[in-house]
Structure 1
Amino acid sequence: MHDTPVKQDYRSLRRQTGLNQQQFWSRVFVTQSGGSRYENERSVPAPVAELVRLHHQLGIDTSKITPANAELLRSLLSGDIDSAMLEATAQRCRLVMAALGNGASELLTLSGHITRVLGTHTEARP
């Protein structure tokens, strides 16, 4: 990424999001007054333009990128991890978790029945 200023209609983009200047620009670490200048044809530095693109055009909340998940993100972006395969695996995991959740609930119910049956039988014994 270069520091070459980027031309774009930021006012139009902001209005499409339904945000006021303070809301829109603060999400990319720019003051309201700085954002106002950018909306009035002042050059936007490339790093700021990239943050706007990531956050407002692609819906990526850059504040959630941490050292813990950065390696995974780099692997996805480089193609080392197949995103379609990762999504399919995540879906399978959700299905397994749902099945386990249902199974755990059924086991708890069965456990209650067994406890009642055993309790009845032990009470009947002398």
Structure 2
Amino acid sequence: MPVPETSQLNRLEVAFAIDASLRMAQADDHIDFDEMVFLAQTFSKEGLREMGFVGEGGKFTTAFRQACEEAKDRLPADLSAERKLAIADLLHQALQINNAVDPRELVVLFECLASLGLTEQQVNSHLGL
């Protein structure tokens, strides 16, 4: 049975959010423990396994990488503004988790949100930046 479209979009949102969070965490050349805890608490390993994103040993799968690529293609057109802003909220939380926002992480945040079709003005206004 095919996956319902809403479930498929949710899968792509999750892949996008994880990928963006990892990119932000790595932007300052190190990953803090608190950043990893945030990801683990936000995205359960069981849920990621069910989506096919995590395999044996907890490694991300090819399906995860494919979903990240598909997300870049589909989410800008297929997601509502409300869902895009919900992703912005989540990424903003991830950015602030260690109480020290590195400017490089902020650049990645804006790049990721721009790839969804959100303007810098929309992001600034929504997040209060």
Q: Is the structural similarity TM-score above 0.5? A: no
Higher relative contact order (CA 8 A, sep 6+): 2
Q: TM-score, structure 2 length as denominator?
A: 0.24
Q: Flag the structure with larger Rg.
A: 1
